[in-house]
Amino acid sequence: MISKCANPSCSAAFNHRQGRLHRFPKCRTEHGPPANTHAVQHFWLCGACCKTYSLTYDEDLGVTLGRQFERGSAPGRRRLIAAA
């Protein structure tokens, strides 16, 4: 269950009426894909953070947080939220 903003630097409590909800495939385990291959993980960015940041998913890295419009930027500029 989502309790706060996905931005580790933000402590905004989850409010389904504000911000943006993101769904990504559930991260793989060390031993292969998750047991339920249709599983998804939910992440939420609060109203303030979603104006500046975006979440993206990369099969090798996992879910990362970065500034909007920097999707093609180097991975070092993005912050890992959930490992693949």
Task: Output the average pLDDT for the chain.
Answer: 81
State pTM to two decimals: 0.72
**Distance separating alpha carbons of residues 50 and 34, to the nearest angstrom:** 28
What is residue 33's predicted lDDT score, i.e. its pLDDT? 58
52 near 40, Cβ under 8 Å?
A: no
Residue 20 · residue 46 · CB < 8 Å: no
Q: Tell me the residue length of the chain.
A: 84
Output the DSSP codes for 50-71. Answer: HHHEEEEEETTTEEEEEETT-T
**Is the pLDDT score of 51 beyond 80?**
yes
